[in-house]
Copies of this chain bind each other. A is one copy, B any other.
């Protein structure tokens, strides 16, 4: 089969996936279960249902059904911004002079600016279906909060976002997008919660942290009638929803008879790469095909490449269940000069287990090299990429340049998770040559890991 490949491959609406793919069903050794932080026993459905919507809790625990139907209401919302294009990077290939064929799945063509909306709409749908009044969540830079605001607005659900105070003050644009969609946005730590008041009393003038914002959001969810907490990454349910990225990518490649050689994705909590690679990993698990899969993480927050595979807290506040994952320790905070996103201390249990089974590789890259790739990409492909996504661009370019040396025409597929329109301070630092790199020392990582729970 040999068709001329367009710049952008769009599936037809009727070719969009009708089911999510649950990679856990094809894993012989399953990801380790979430544990109750008090008892160290696996979280039960009832325990999870106190924090999450019932159906989402069921999805979180479901490691046996390979396919789960996407409800029609969610599919209709997907139709507003999906299918996303699989783009052949003709201009980048030409610029690099590589024989490789480079493809990227672009998830940034929606107002949240990223793939986060794929799971936000699912989580809002199940909350609405359960008859809840609203949901709570935390957000750092604001991508996830924006996606959730959009989803809640669509289903007429209340949305309470706890936004890390320094981002709330420094990134007023994201905040206003959320407010435009009707969300309430509260700087964290606030004076509205016990944990917020406690932290404000202990650390007067603190500008907050994601861990603290999570704790506030969870406290409000479990103490307010008709509310549940939602999370934008890390969880297995989120990776399930994000499988729509990989399923569309696979369908688009199949449509043109293209066999991917490499799949590259940035990895913070793991939701994007987990979703992108899932149908490909599924083929590997079933012995049907082989792919080289690469997770790319920041050198300043290298959970897969330098972390340990142990049970750890998911949040700094230690209110969430324990997860077995590659982690740098829940107290690990990337150095202050780190502008490139992907700052989570751990990695999704699914991605961690697949990595431990050596079904995929990981690579860490420094941020100035990431922004160099981002700028190069922007100038030839037009799209100004998110710093997170640019980690994948860096490695895709590196691999394409290797192909130039070897003469191999590999098919390289990477995930372009989003746009960088709200990250211009980071670009400004790069443009002004003020961006620096930092790689944590072994001692720093060891000190942080020493605080993981022992049992």
- Most B Cβ at <10 Å: residue of A80, A181, A383, A430: A80
**Of residues 38 to 84 in A, which have CB atoms within 8 Å of B's CB atoms?**
76-77, 79-81
Tell me the minimal C-beta distance from A377 to chain B in angstroms: 11
- Please give the number of chain A residues whose Cβ is less than 8 angstroms from any Cβ of chain B in the complex: 46
CB distance from A372 to the nearest CB of B (A): 11
Residue of B whose beta carbon sits closest to that of A422 = B421
Question: Is there an interface contact between B428 and A382, defined as CB atoms closer than 8 Å?
Answer: no
**Partner among B181, B379, B430 whose Cβ is within 8 Å of the Cβ of A154:** B379
Chain B residues, Cβ within 8 Å of A427: 176-177, 179-180
Q: Is residue A262 contacting chain B, with contact meaning CB distance below 8 A? A: no
Residue A375, interface by CB 8 Å? yes
With A and B bound together, what is the CA distance between A7 and B172 in angstroms?
32
A193 on interface, CB distance cutoff 8 Å: no
> A421 to B424, alpha carbons, bound, how many Å?
12
The residue of chain B having its C-beta at the shortest distance from the C-beta of A429 within the complex is B176
Chain B residues with Cβ below 8 Å from A6 are 12-13, 79
Pairwise interchain contact A431-B179, C-beta atoms closer than 8 A: yes
List of B residues within 8 angstroms of A153 by Cβ: 378-380
Tell me whether A176 and B13 are in contact (CB under 8 A).
no
Within 8 A of B (CB), among A408-440: 419, 421-422, 424-425, 427-428, 430-431
Q: Known: A176-B431, A179-B431, A379-B154. Contact between A79 and B8, CB under 8 A?
A: yes
A226 to nearest B CB, angstroms? 21
Known: A7-B79, A172-B424, A424-B176. A110 touches B383 (CB 8 A): yes
A90: chain B residues at CB < 8 Å are 76
A384 near B431: Cβ-Cβ < 8 Å: no
Q: How far is the CB of A94 from chain B (nearest CB, A)?
A: 10
Known: A6-B79, A79-B7. A111 touches B378 (CB 8 A): yes
Please tell me if A285 contacts chain B, counting CB pairs below 8 Å.
no
A173 is an interface residue with CB less than 8 A from chain B: yes
> Which residues of chain A in 310-345 are interfacial with respect to chain B, using CB atoms and an 8 Å cutoff?
none
Whether B380 and A154, one on each chain, are in contact in the complex, defined by CB atoms closer than 8 angstroms, is yes
Among A111, A179, A182: residue with most chain B CB under 10 A: A111
CB contacts (< 8 Å) of A430 on chain B: these are: 180
Contacts of A177 in B (CB 8 A): 384, 421, 424, 427
Q: Is A381 an interface residue (CB 8 A)?
A: yes
User: Which of chain B's residues has its CB closest to A428's CB?
Assistant: B176
A173 and B424 contacting across the interface, CB-CB below 8 Å = yes
CA distance A358 to B421 in the complex (A): 41
Question: In this complex, what residue of B is CB-closest to A149?
Answer: B379
How far is A76 from B382 in the complex, measured between Cα atoms in Å? 12
A408 to chain B, nearest CB (A): 25
A422→B76 CA distance, assembly (Å):
28
User: What are some 15 contacts across the A-B interface (CB < 8 A)?
Assistant: A6-B79, A8-B80, A76-B90, A80-B381, A111-B382, A111-B384, A150-B382, A172-B424, A173-B424, A177-B384, A179-B428, A180-B375, A180-B430, A181-B379, A421-B421
**Nearest 8 Cβ contacts at the A-B interface:** A7-B79, A173-B424, A6-B13, A176-B424, A153-B379, A111-B384, A176-B428, A179-B431
Residues in chain A within 8 A of chain B (CB atoms):
6-8, 10, 12-13, 76-77, 79-81, 87, 90-91, 109-111, 113, 150, 153-154, 172-173, 176-177, 179-182, 375, 378-384, 419, 421-422, 424-425, 427-428, 430-431
Q: A80-B91, A91-B154, A177-B424 are in contact. List 5 more A-B contacts (CB 8 A).
A: A7-B13, A7-B80, A8-B80, A173-B424, A179-B427
